[in-house]
Every structure is written in structure tokens, then in C-alpha cells.
Amino acid sequence: MNQQWLIWWHSGYWQTAHESWRQDSWFTLPEARRQALTRMRAGAIGHQWGVQPSPLAPPQPLLLSLLALPEPQKIRLLTFVEAICGAETALTGEEKIWCRRLSRGIRPESWLPEALLSRPMALALLQALYPDCWTRLRMAFPREAVLACPSMPPDLPARRLQPIWEAALWRCQSGENNHVAA
């Protein structure tokens, strides 16, 4: 996992960027040229997206699992987080029941700021959970949705956010396994 984390921190964040980020001029360069520039000036590459060179953050297994999801599952994960926090979503009845049950235990309405409850919040909660990784992490999601996030992450305790993301990720992965088995 440590090597996987190092690769993502160094260049994996842009190599696996969401399609909406791939309109930037960097992605029009030939692959060989991008790889050569990455080896020579990796720190400078991220400047175009606001990624500043910084010390390697501690590996985050949950974040790596989230990043490994295919695009439709990432969107599903965000939808689960929204539903757990009380938003109306297009989830099935069974999935909504699961989210409500989880929400009763976590009680996000008692500690989430009102401002977050009135708009799509999943990416803002992810930003709050991983503020040190956000400039890289955001590239895994649609640019338009990322730009709707607050410029500063909400100040929310990781001990409250972590269980929401772990449960939503588990549900996405278990639902994916059940779907494949069916």
C-alpha cells in the first residue's frame, strides 16, 4: 500500500484524473513527453491545478480504496454519503432504508453545519476528511462538482466523517459484489 500511495501522491492523481480535467493542455502532450516531464519536474506539474509540492502525507487506506472504484461506483459512493446525511437521492427503497438506519446511529443532522445540509455535500465532507490531500484528491471527481466545494474545507471532526465514508464504501463494494454474483 505504501508504494501505491507514493505513486498516487507523486503523479497518480493526475494520471487517473476524471475526464473533465483532461481538457487541460497537459493532457494534449504525447504520453512519452508527459512521463519524461514527470521524472524531471514532478513538483512543477501540479502547479497548473493548484497542487503545491508538499511532504508526503501518511498513507490513507480508505482514500486508496475510494480512488480504486470505477467512475460509476464513485458517483454511487457520493450518493450514499449524501443519503446518509439526509439528502434526497435516487437510491432504491432498500438502499434508502439502509442509509436511514445508519443515519440514526451517526446522527449527522446533529453536527453537520446548516450550510452543508442545503446543498450537495459529499465532496465537501470528503474535503473535510482529507484536507491535506484535497488538491490531489479532487481531480478524481468531476471538475464542476469540485468547483462547487467551499474554498476552505469545513471544520468537521474526522472521527465523525470516517464512519460515514467507511460505511458508504462498504455498501458500494458489497453492492458491486452482489450485482456481479447475480
Task: For 51-76, give the secondary structure using H, E and C.
Answer: CCCCCCCCCCHHHHHHHHCCHHHHHH
Instruction: Provide the whole-model pTM.
Output: 0.88
CA separation, residue 32 to residues 12, 21, 59, 178 (Å): 16, 19, 28, 40
- Render pLDDT for 22-54 as a digit per residue (tens, 0 to 9): 999 899 999 999 989 888 887 788 888 999 888
Q: Count of domains in the chain?
A: 1
Tally of CB atoms within 10 A around 6: 13
- Render pLDDT for 106-162 as a digit per residue (tens, 0 to 9): 998 888 887 666 667 899 999 999 999 999 999 999 999 999 998 888 889 999 999
Q: What range defines the domain where residue 75 resides? A: 2-181
